[in-house]
Chains A and B, each alone.
Chain A
Amino acid sequence: MKTITYSEAIREGMRKRMRENPNVFILGEDVGEFGGCFGVTGDLVKEFGEKRVRDTPISEGAIVGCAVGAASTGLRPIAELMFIDFVTVGMDQLVNQAAKMRYMFGGKISLPMVVRMPTGAGSRAAAQHSQSLEAWLTHVPGLKVVYPSTPQDAYGLILSAIDDDNPVVFLEHKLLYAMSGEVDLDIEPIPLGLADVKREGEDVTIIATAKMVHEALAAAEELAKEGIEAEVVDPRSLFPLDKETIFKSVEKTNRVVIATEETKRGSYAGELAAIIAEECFDYLDAPITRVCCLDTPIPFSPVLEDYVVPDSKDIIDAVKKLL
């Protein structure tokens, strides 16, 4: 076991696979000597050189498109977008090309590629650098979407993402990059589609992603003081989704709060709520509740941003309303 950050865990996962497979390479803006805008690629260029840790011009369409072309011709690219917000510029390549090529071509091609995207609010970066756009991505057949909440999960999931023969969108929460945790660098990859129960409880299920997992755990500690035991379920991968673990928890607690950092309207949280309502209705004793951002762009001023983005207090309030 080694204590490293979420950011370092992603880097070590990439390093491991790059050492093992010469066809794995990284491309993106300022990923080389600069080490990545958030420092995730760090010193990888020193070990693997500029061929395999490739700085690109500011051309998100070309970054994703280049990954598509490389993945369809034998390589395993890892593309980094500086912020998830910039995926809009590369969206055609991701949605119309990467996600659809295998299907359109009758399964005769595979696209083993990862697109990493720093996600989420809280860094006072305002409306174009703070979004949580997982609903856009999970909406598209052909993509897998992963969103780890801890250094260990980040490490185990990046290995699986790189090993996957399909396009995988790997979301990373910006405020988690500095979070430290014990990481076993010798673990087997964590399969995509395997949720993790981060805390067990009997009274309510809180399904949370990324940073909201930690808000949910903080909320659970507070609730426990009042005798309410919350179970915190982290799906870890949004698609494929581990419905079984979620349903098992709902069957036990009969109450569900879903906490994500998305704007609520049209969110993936809504999709989770719909899945539970469709498939677990008989086990529910209360309405499914979503705790999400307000339906606004993310504002700049800290006072405004903190008001818009949910935290543990909002989760506590939501839980109490259900009991």
Chain B
Amino acid sequence: MLLVRNAYIIFLKDFHLEFRSRYALNAIFLFAITTLTAISFSIGPLRLKSEILSPLLWIILFFSAMSGLSHIFVREEEQQTADTLRLVTSANAVFLGKWIFNMVLLFSLELFILPIYLAMLGVSVGNFRVFLFIILLGSFGLASVATLIAAIISQASAKGALFAVLSFPISLPLLISGIHGTRLALDGGTLAECLPDLQILFSFSIVIITLSLLLFEFIWRK
């Protein structure tokens, strides 16, 4: 209970800080809008197939996440508040608080970017419920990977490059299932057809969160 309470307090603090400084918010939203606009201009009036539309969506989501989600730990290290935090609560409360924050940030991005993506690229979704389900579960996993890697790279010198380089191989199963599931959903695939992808996305997220809770103490306490 104490863990959840402290995680919530840390989440609220980060939420407050973010809406005052807008470090991650600006990075993630501007990246997504710029990429989407560039894609839209480059394809012109062409109607793309789901085989192309699905990876494009995940590329936008993955790199937008990479551009902003590392701030959650990098900011604590750069502004020398990480030690202050280490002295007041447990490592897992810090991880959970930061993970919730990254998830909220990623979900907000999707809420904003998905309607624009559907409108700008003229996408028709065959099975909207399954499509949303895939995106939600994928983001759940993406936020988990990003939070863990952010904690690792926050203590390195080449933070920006390392974040994407380390996150990509770990996120690969998630991206493959996310892209495949999204393609099926765009083509009108049923829940039963998308179930293997949903299962992989769900299991992947659970494994990453469990590993993070086991390992984070070692990462956080140097």
Is chain B a partner of chain A in the same complex? no
